[in-house]
Each structure stands twice: as structure tokens, then as C-alpha cells.
Amino acid sequence: MYAIVKTGGKQYKVAEGDVITVEKLDAADGAEINLPAVLLVDGATVTHEAEKLAAATITAEVVAQTKGPKIRIHKYKNKTGYHKRMGHRQKLTQLKVTGISA
């Protein structure tokens, strides 16, 4: 059984026991979170009706709050002598899926 969940404006395919990295969520380490389901697949049965998905629960446990890799940004304008270097690290949350129930 697996599900497609939505968080942070993105969708992720998850199964029970998976560890996924999503955009930062305001939750402490060890906290339990419920994720909204977009699609639920159990063998040959596919659930996509809104009423049935509202009853489905996907629970996940917060493993850690981390940061992504450093992205280097270089801005340059031709013939003006303008150079600018910046860096960015996106804040992320690691979740471990503990249960999927229809």
C-alpha cells in the first residue's frame, strides 16, 4: 500500500516506513504529523474520491530538522563591473511515515 501526499506545495509518494525530506514544518523532533492524502493505492484498488480520502489518515513522525545543500548564486551584469556572490541553504524537515490507513 502506498499513498501520494501533499505538503509544502509538492506531492510525494510514500509507503509505510519511508523517510522523506520535505519543506520545513513547524514541529518538534519526535512529534507526530498527519499528512493530507491526494491518492491512495492498495494493490489493484485506487482511491481518489474526496470523501474517502478525507477519512484516510497518513501519519508521520518528525525525525530531524535539517538544511539542504548550499546553493551558490552568482549575479553578473555585462560591461558594468557588477559581480555579486550569494549563498542559500533551504531549511528542510525529515519525516518517517509510520502509518497509512484507509
DSSP for 49-70 reads: -HHHHHH-EEEEEEEEEEE---
Decide: 55 and 88 in contact? Cβ < 8 Å.
no
pTM of this structure: 0.82
* pLDDT tens for each residue of 36-93: 999 999 889 898 989 989 999 999 999 999 999 999 999 999 999 999 999 999 999 9
CB 93: neighbour CB atoms within 10 A?
Answer: 22
Cα 32 from chain centroid (whole Å)? 14
